Every structure is written in C-alpha cells, then in structure tokens.
Amino acid sequence: MILLGSDTETKPSLAMREAMAKAIVGDEQKGTDPTVNTLLENVARLLGKEKALFLPSGTMCNFVAIKAHTRPTETIIAEDMSHIIRAESAGIAMSSGVLIEHISTKNGQFTREQLLATINKIKTVPHPYSPKPSLVCLEQTHNLRGGTVWSLEQLKSISETAKENNLKIHVDGARLLNACVATHSKASEFGKHVDSLWIDFTKGLGAPLGAVLAGSAEFIEDCRLLKHSFGGALRQAGIVAAGCQYALDHHIIRLEEDHINAQILATELERMEGIEVLNPKPETNMVFFKATTMDVRELQTRIKEESIEIGLVGEYLRAVTHLDITTSDIEKTLEVIKKLKL
Ligand SMILES: *Cc1c(COP(=O)(O)O)cnc(C)c1O
C-alpha cells in the first residue's frame, strides 16, 4: 500500500527503534526520566522558550495549554477550519469551558483587521454580559486549509494586535517544523512572538508517539498539573522520547523532500484532464484535489483499488507526503490516476 492518507502513517524506522531500545529511562511523572528531560531541554531551546513539557499527543497539548491560558466564562478566537474546532471532538469545550469565536479565511491565516473585528464582535454588549476574549489560537501549518504557512510577518502582526488587546497567543504547531523548513526560518523566531506552542512527533517527524509543549516556566508548571489531572502523566517515557529525539536529530532536514514530492504531485495532477487541484502550489506536504466528472468518494475508491490510500476532507481528497513516501510512490500514484481517464 502507498499510504498518502496522513503523515501520521509514518512507521518508526529500524534506526529509530534501536535508539528507543537503548534509551536510559526514569519516571517521567516524577521528572526523573533523563531521556525525556534531555528532549525537553532541546525542544525548549529549538522553540525559543524557557521550559517544555512532554505529552502523549498533540490534542492533549491543546487541551492543557488552552485550559492553562483561560478560565471558564471566557472566549477564545480561532480560524474556522482549525483542528481544535473541527477535529478534537469538542474537547476544548469540555476541558476549558470556554466559547470559541471563529474567523473564516481562505488559506487559514487571518489578518489584524479580522482579529480586531472579532474582538469587537465578542464585546458587542457591555461586560459582564459579554464573555471576555482571552486567547488567540493559530495553526502552523494550517492542516485543513492545505498545509499553509503563517509567515513571520503575519504572525508578528497578530502578536502585536493580541498584546494591545490583552490576549495571549497559543500555536498549534503540529507541523510547525514543516513551516520552518518551507520558509527557511528558525522555530525560535516563531516562538518569540507567542505565549505557547507545541510540536508533534507523530506527523512528518515519524515517531510513534509524543508531542512537546513549550512556554514560560510558570505556564509549563501550570500545564504539568493539568496534564496530570487529564491522566497524561507517564512513567518510563524515555522509551518514546528517544524516538522523538531521533526524529529531531535526523528527520527535520528531510521534510524538504516531502514538500518537493507534494509539489511534483500537485503540478502533475494540475496538468491532467478532469482533475481540479485546490492548492496547485502546495506550501508544505499536502495536496487537495478532486475530479470534475467523478464523485470524490468514487475517485477515492478507484484509487484504493490500486493499493493507494488517500484521505477525504470535505469535497476534496487530501494526499499527504511523509518520510515513508518516495518520489517513485508519487509517480505510481500519478500513473494510477492518469489511467482512470477522467
Ligand atoms: C494532528 C493534529 C493535531 C493533533 O495531534 P495528535 O498528536 O494527533 O493528537 C492537532 N492539530 C493539528 C493541526 C493536527 O494536524
């Protein structure tokens, strides 16, 4: 099978498994797992933050961080198609007791003007009738809008606007490192302008599990307690942290290959009769497309009959490149789609 459904399809390589097998471990819950602690120091430095916290998943990073930044009765602001709204089973509502105000965009990035208009909308009636806006959430890269990137300039502008209005900023950085590779910028440059951010090791980085959240020492201490109360404290987590460390050392630089493969896929699909590509110039590792003459589900099934799995997102198929996808897999995929004679 060629698995283009998601970059979570990556399997730990033999070298990563060897690193995991050799890991020196302690007790993560007590803060005495040396492999976890080293990973946390490295990620905090990478993201330009004081401290970091190891969590089982990116979803839990969002829950813990948003809860630490807010109080029930408040409102947070996020893009309409963001993961926290569309793909976390309303977990934010349950864990934080806040409302979410949506901002609609074409590509996933909103402007200072849109943010200001949203803050004003939240404050339509006087306090205390209106909820207090307290946090802005950004997604880097923006998944459901095509793996699109917040540029440093866009982020700076939102960061200044947030500060002027006493809002904190949290970044869902599931694919932050894809954005860094695509824009040739340092992750700490992005980290500098926000209060909290996290990276996921189970996407293009190719580890079997783990995510790391970073922020100020005080914020991370709050998050540690919340993580414990959500049942996210771990024991000999060094086994998995070693996989994450291996990914940091070996898999960041190669994300560029995934972006090139996505570009090849998009460019060639765009040339084909009967195919519409939503993002013909993919910024990172995702290509959204559909057929103009065939139902998208049927297209997905026909492709799957040839042992190629591609995910369905709304009215489009979403193909995601990752470290288990080679350029020849992309060529094979293109051949299969071409043969459908759409
Ligand atoms: C995958 C993803 C998450 C959730 O991460 P998990 O590690 O799967 O819990 C959050 N946000 C975005 C944008 C994602 O793509």
Segment 98-115 shows an average pLDDT of 98
Q: Which one of 138, 143, 200 would you pick to mutate in the ligand 1 pocket, going by the greatest count of ligand atoms within 8 A of its CB? A: 200
pLDDT tens, 290-339?
999 999 999 999 999 999 999 999 999 999 999 999 999 999 999 999 99
Ligand 1 pocket, mutate which of 8, 61, 83, 175 (most atoms under 8 A from CB)? 83
The pLDDT assigned to 23 comes to 98
Over residues 156-161, the mean pLDDT reads: 98
Q: For residue 202, is pLDDT > 90? A: yes
3-state helix, strand, coil in the chain (%, to 5): 45, 20, 40
Contact in structure between 42 and 248 (CB atoms under 8 Å) = yes
Q: From atom 5 of ligand 1, which residue's Cα is the shortest distance away?
A: 58
> How far does residue 277's CA lie from ligand 1's centre (Å)?
24
Q: Are 307 and 2 in contact (CB under 8 A)?
A: yes
Average pLDDT over residues 219-234: 97
Whole-angstrom distance, CA of residue 19 vs CA of residue 70: 38
Please tell me the distance between residue 174's alpha carbon and the centre of ligand 1 in angstroms.
5
Pairing assessment for the beta strands 275-277 and 196-200 based on DSSP bridges:
unpaired
Q: Would you say 74 and 127 are in contact if contact means Cβ atoms under 8 Å apart?
A: no
Q: How far is the CA of 285 from the centre of ligand 1 (A)?
A: 15
Instruction: Compute the distance from residue 65 Cα to the ligand 1 centre, in Å.
Output: 14
Half-sphere exposure (Cβ direction) of 330: Cα atoms closer than 13 Å: 25
Per-residue confidence (pLDDT) for residue 229, from 0 to 100 = 96
Say if residue 341's pLDDT is above 90. no
Res 127: pLDDT: 86
pLDDT tens readout for residues 43-69:
999 999 999 999 999 999 999 999 999
Using the Cα atoms of residue 288, residue 294, residue 295 and residue 301 in order, give the sign of their dihedral: negative
Q: Which residues line ligand 1 (CB under 6 A)?
A: 57-59, 83, 139, 143, 172, 174, 200, 202, 211
How do residues 245-292 score in pLDDT, each as one tens digit? 999 999 999 999 999 999 999 999 999 999 999 999 999 999 999 999
Cα 293 to ligand 1 centroid, rounded to whole Å: 32
Q: Does the reported pTM lie above 0.85?
A: yes
Q: Is the pLDDT of residue 139 over 90?
A: yes
Q: Please, what is the average pLDDT of the chain?
A: 97
Residue 21 has what pLDDT? 98
**Ligand 1: centre distance to CA 339 (Å):** 34
